Structure 1
Amino acid sequence: MSVIIHTTQDGCTIKFHLRRTARKNIIVRVASASMLSVNIPPFVSLKQLQQWFGANEMALKRLWQQSKTIKTELPNTIWYRGQRFSYTFAKGLSAVQWYQQQGFLLPETSEASALDILRTWLRQCAQTELISRLQYWALVMQQQPASMALTQARTFWGVCRRRTGIRLNWRLIGAPAFVVDYVCIHELCHLRYANHGRDFWAMVAKYTAKTHDARLWLKQHGSELFALDNVR
C-alpha cells in the first residue's frame, strides 16, 4: 500500500492510501484522520487515476473535509497473541517494537500515524504467523487448499473455497494460539466437507479438542479484535 497525493485546481492537497484490488471500479473512502483510501483495478494507471481525481474533485473534497473531523484515539490496550498489551510512545523509534513484559513501543508521532504504523505491523505479523500455522495444519491433515492468504473481512474469521483457497482474517493475530488453530482446522475440514454436518464436526474433533473453548473465546472477545478498525 502506498501514499499518493492529488492537488486540486484550487490548491487543496489530498492524501490517499492507494491499494489495487480485483474490483472493476475505483472506490474512495475516508481511511483515517486527514487521509482517504482509494482502491483501483489493476488495469488503471496512475495517470488515469489522476485524471479521474480531476473529474471528481468536488466529491473528493467533501470526503477530505470529513476526514479532518474524525477523532483518532487508540484503545487502551492492544490484543496480540491472545493477550492484551499496553503501549507507550518512545522517541527515536521509526518502527513498532514489542516486548512480552513492556508491551508495545510506538514511534512518538501523531496518533493517526501511530495507528497506521501499528496496523501495518500487526498485518505483517499476521501474514507470517497465521499463514505459517495454516501451512502446518494443511501438512498434518493432508489437505492442500488452492492458495492461502489473509482477508480484511469484518464478517467471518475464515473462508474456504475449493477454487480460490483459504482466507484467514488478519485480526486473528490478536487471538490465542488455540483459537487460530481451531479456525485453520475448521477451514481445512471444509475442503472435504462443504457443510457443517456430523462428518464435518467429527473431522474437526479429530484434530482439536478445543472447539468449544475457541468458539466461546471468539464470542466473548472477537469484537475486541476489531478495535483498531473502529478508530480512524
Structure 2
Amino acid sequence: MRFTHTLSDGLNILIELKRSAKKNIILRPLSTNSIRLNIPPYVNSKQLQSWLRQNEAILRKTLSRAPTATVSAEQMPEHILYRGAYHKLNIHNLPDIYHAPPNILLPDIPWPQQKTQLRHYLTERAAEILLPRLHYHAENLSLTPAAMALSNAKTFWGVCRSRTGIRLNWRLIGAPDFVIDYICIHELCHLPHPNHSKQFWAMVNHHTPHTHNAKQWLKQYGSELFLLDNTNNQAV
C-alpha cells in the first residue's frame, strides 16, 4: 500500500506501507521523498496517522539518510523550473549565466561546472526574491522573526524557530509566487502558533487563499525543484 503524507511545512512524502509480525515500527528510506514503513498488524489507520504526526522528526531524519540518485556527469537536463515556469537550458559563448526567458544560457563548460554555477546563480536569485518577499509578509502581519535566511535543507521548504528565526529553502526560487507566499505565511504564523493547531491554520488561511493550490503544486512539482541535486557533485 502506498499513500502520501504531508509534513508540517507542506512537504509531501510517499509512504510505502507494509505489515509485519514485528512489534516495532521500522522505517527505511527509499529516496529523498519516500519511506518504507513496516508496522505491526494491530496498528490501525487512525493510530498510524497519529504516529506519523507525532514523529515528524523521525521521518525527516529517515529521509535525510536516503541515498542520492546519480546521473551521468555529462547529462544536462533540458529545462528547469524558475519562478513557476519551465526554462530551457542552452549554451552560449560567454563566461557567465544569462537569463533570457524562457531560456537560461550557460557557459560552454562541462556540465558539473555548469551545474555548480547554476546553483550559485539560483541561490543568489533566491536571496534577492524570497527574502524580500518574506520581509514583506512579516511587515503585513506585524510579526518579527529573530532572523530571515535561506536554507539548503533536503526535507523541508521552510522552518521557523523562536531563537534562530525563519529559513526558506532556496529551491523555492523555482516555484510560482503564490507558493512562495504560502510558505512565507505558513512559517510566519508559527511565531504566534508554534504548533499546527486549529488557530494556526485559521491564521494561515486568513492571510492566503492559496493554501490548497500551493500544497497541490508542491505535491506535483516539488521533486523537480531538487533536479540540480541529482548528481555526485558537492552541494553549494
* Structure 2 equivalent of residue 86 of structure 1: 88
Larger Rg: 1
SS in 2 for 1:94: coil
Q: What RMSD in Å do the two structures reach over aligned CA positions?
A: 1.3
Q: CA deviation at 1:87?
A: 1.4
Q: Separation in 1 of the partners of 2:136 and 2:203?
A: 17
Q: How far, CA to CA, are the matches of 1:138 and 1:72 in structure 2?
A: 43
Q: TM-score, normalised by structure 2?
A: 0.67
- Residue in 2 that maps onto 1:137: 137
Deviation at residue 132 of structure 1 after TM alignment: 0.7
CA contact 1:76–1:86 (8 Å) conserved in 2:
yes
- Between 155-164 and 69-78, report the one with greater CA deviation: 69-78
Query: Which amino acid letter does the alignment assign opposite residue 85 of structure 2?
Result: Q
Give % identity: 49
Asked if 2 retains the 8 angstrom alpha-carbon contact of 1:147 and 1:166, the reply is yes
Determine helix, strand or coil for the equivalent of 2:229. coil
- 1:109 is matched with which residue? 109
1: distance between equivalents of 2:84 and 2:222? 11
Gaps of 5+ in 1: 1-68
Match of 2:104, SS state, is strand
Native 8 Å contact 1:74 1:228 kept in 2: no
CA apart distance, 1:73: 1.9
- Counterpart AA for 1:99: A
Q: Given the alignment of the two structures, is residue 77 of structure 1 paired with residue 79 of structure 2, yes or no? A: yes
What code does the residue aligned with 1:194 have?
Answer: P
Q: Secondary structure at the match of 2:185?
A: helix
Query: Hey, what's the Cα distance between the residues in 2 that align with 1:137 and 1:188?
Result: 8
Instruction: Say which SS state the counterpart of residue 84 (structure 1) adopts.
Output: strand
Amino acid paired to 1:204? V
Shift of 1:71: 2.7
Amino acid paired to 2:99: W
Q: Deviations over 1:136-167 (max 9, x none)?
A: 00000011100000000000000000010000
Change (3 A) 1:99 1:70: closer
1:72 offset after TM fit, Å?
A: 4.2
SS in 2 for 1:150: strand
Alignment of 1:54-203 (within 5 A): 71-91=73-93, 93-101=94-102, 103-203=103-203
Aligned length: 162
Paired residue type of 1:176: P
> CA–CA distance in 2 between the matches of 1:220 and 1:190?
25
Instruction: Describe the SS at the equivalent of 1:159.
Output: strand
| CA distance in structure 2 between the partners assigned to 1:133 and 1:156 by the alignment | 18
Counterpart amino acid of 1:98? H
Cα distance in 2 for partners of 1:96, 1:70 equals: 22
Q: Distance in 2 between matches of 1:95 and 1:189?
A: 39
**How far apart, CA to CA, are the structure 1 residues paired with 2:74 and 2:193?**
43
Q: Within 5 A, what are the aligned runs for 1:4-83?
A: 71-83=73-85
SS in 2 for 1:227: helix
- Structure 1 residue aligned with 2:210: 210
Q: Which residue of 2 aligns with 1:15?
A: none
User: What amino acid is the match of 2:78?
Assistant: N
- Name the amino acid aligned to 2:84: G
Post-superposition offset of 1:205: 1.1
Q: Residues 77 and 89 of structure 2 are in contact (CA less than 8 Å); yes or no, is this contact kept in structure 1? A: no
Unaligned runs of 5+ in 2: 1-70
1:203 maps to a residue whose letter is: M
